[in-house]
Amino acid sequence: MLQFLQMHGITILVLLILALVVFLIIRKLIKDKKAGVGACGCKCAGCPHAANCHRH
């Protein structure tokens, strides 16, 4: 087991960092969706295309 970790330690570390980045991106997207932020990054209240963007 220790030999496996020595051989693949960097690969495992990079994988964990990438998994963390993906998790943070998904968490941000979910948080923005719950807050009512549209796909363009702004609030939908003043957007003329709010009806076409997504349903609330």
CB burial string 35-45: b at 16+ within 10 A, e below: eeebeeeeebe
Residue 5's pLDDT is 87
Contact 42, 26 (CB under 8 A): no
Q: pLDDT tens, position by position, for the chain (56 residues)?
A: 889 989 999 999 999 999 999 999 999 988 887 877 766 666 666 777 767 765 54
Residue 48's pLDDT is 74
Residue 26's pLDDT is 95
For 52, what's the count of Cα atoms within 13 Å in the CB-facing half-sphere? 4
> Distance between CA 29 and CA 54 in Å, rounded?
14
